[in-house]
């Protein structure tokens, strides 16, 4: 065993270290595109999530307005539009609000749009969020 240590030390001293020149540059050239791709994916996912939250907030606000006593689906659409105008900015593009699926006893507000894309020329992800609930109405106890 003691004989191997001097041999190892001699080998380390005799090794030409110039062979390693440029290794870090090559490693970075291989790894950097994956790191950049990961960063873009995280940012894109965050933008999608934020646009989704904006659409859900607008749908919930519209539902709250449409459910109130003597209000209608049009009031809910108007309120959802106001929320989108105030919060969406460039995060939720081509947004639309509808009350498809609503009945006399139940109201449904649906907000759709497209999340902004990080890559130019690539379409964003389509987002659809909805909220539904019963319409408030006066009832007589015992009926």
pLDDT at 137: 76
pLDDT at 50: 92
Q: Tens of pLDDT along the chain (143 residues)?
A: 556 667 766 666 666 655 666 677 788 888 899 999 999 999 999 999 999 999 999 999 999 988 887 888 888 899 999 999 888 778 888 889 998 887 878 889 999 999 988 888 888 889 999 999 888 877 788 76
pLDDT at 131: 92
Span 31-58, pLDDT tens digits: 899 999 999 999 999 999 999 999 999 9
Q: Which two tokens stand for residue 106?
A: 């139940």
Residues 6+ apart with CB under 8 A from 73: 66, 99, 102, 107, 109
pLDDT at 34: 93
pTM value is 0.72
pLDDT at 46: 92
pLDDT at 18: 56
**CA–CA distances in Å: residue 21 to residues 9, 13, 16, 17, 25:** 21, 17, 10, 8, 9
């Amino acid at each position: 065993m003691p004989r191997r240590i001097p041999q190892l030390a001699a080998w380390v001293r005799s090794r030409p270290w110039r062979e390693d020149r440029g290794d870090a540059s090559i490693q970075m050239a291989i790894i950097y595109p994956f790191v950049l791709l990961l960063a873009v994916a995280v940012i894109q996912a965050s933008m999608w999530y934020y646009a989704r939250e904006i659409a859900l907030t607008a749908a919930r606000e519209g539902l709250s307005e449409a459910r109130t006593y003597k209000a209608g689906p049009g009031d809910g659409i108007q309120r959802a539009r106001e929320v989108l105008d105030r919060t969406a900015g460039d995060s939720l593009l081509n947004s639309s609000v509808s009350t498809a699926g609503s009945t006399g006893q139940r109201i449904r507000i649906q907000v759709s749009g497209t999340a902004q894309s990080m890559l130019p020329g690539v379409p964003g992800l389509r987002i659809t969020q909805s909220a539904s609930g019963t319409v408030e109405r006066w009832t007589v106890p015992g009926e």
